[in-house]
Amino acid sequence: MANNAKPKKGGLGGGGLKSLFEKNGVEPATRAVAEEKTSDVEVIEQLKLSVLVANQYQPRQEFDADALADLAKSIAQNGVVNPIVVRKKGAKYEIVAGERRLRAAKLAKLATIPAIVRVMDDAAVMEIAVIENLQREDLDVIEEAKAYQLLMTELSLTQAEVAKRIGRDRSAIANTLRLLKLPADVQASLQAGELSMGQARALLGLKDDALISAFAARVIEQGLNVRQVEALVQQANNPVEPTTSVKTADSPLFKAISTQLEEKFGTKVKINSNDAGKGKIEINYVDADELTRILTLLDVTID
């Protein structure tokens, strides 16, 4: 790769692993920010597929079957052009970068695959695995969120530090991480493409988390757009209280009671009642002296 090549948009740039991968002919998507010291010359070995194990920090859980089949056809005809990167782990070799190529090589029924064996610690392996996939944009939004969470948890990074390392806005990192607050079934719908990220984020606005799954099912069933979901959430968060008609009791009984109370207290008394049979009695007074008089009649003493 030429030294004057422009970095990928949103890439990491700089030296370290970038130059390390370039001089070994590893595809650009495997570049990462972890800094590793290495010798000037690295040997590409042919390793048996049987001795390779998956990266424990691999954030991608789903691999497109059609894309793998196409890659397998290409590998069957042309071989694996770019070597994978591995590290020794006991009697096996753990993949650092290139699991997709390994899977395609297995489909192509190869016995070996070219690999660069490198000495790396867990932090560097995890960072390369995560950032390789983030740069490729192969992850769905939930896998992406889990990748950010993994970087923050295992490397003790803040959202701002993760954003800086992968060249993205901190707000984008924060919004993606919020998706992990969704129930598992809603996350699955998001991964399956049944919900968009905008719809999912709108559902997170529900004050009652217990409603999210039911609302998500409704959104999918009715095909609601983001604006409609937001309106639905707003309605759920601010329900309109049912109004119960309130009227002055006008039955002969209530009229008789009002009259007796007015005679007792020497002031206007009004009885209100609603359709449910609930109500209140209002006793009017014009000043503090009259209030004291009414309280005395009610045998109420204020200390």
> What residues are labeled active site?
99
Alpha helices in the chain (DSSP H): 17-23, 65-78, 99-107, 122-136, 141-155, 159-166, 170-178, 184-191, 197-203, 212-222, 226-237, 252-265, 288-297
Q: Which residue bears the tokens 């070597």?
A: 83
Of 91, 87, 89, the residue nearest 124 (C-alpha): 87
How big is the CA angle at 54 (ends 121 and 148), to the nearest 5 degrees?
Answer: 65
| Residues in a beta bridge with 246 | 274
Beta carbons within 8 Å of 122's beta carbon, 6+ residues apart:
57, 154
Query: Are 22 and 1 contacting, i.e. CB atoms less than 8 angstroms apart?
Result: yes
Beta strand pairing status for 279-283 and 246-248?
Answer: unpaired
Torsions phi, psi for 123 (to 5 deg): -60, -45
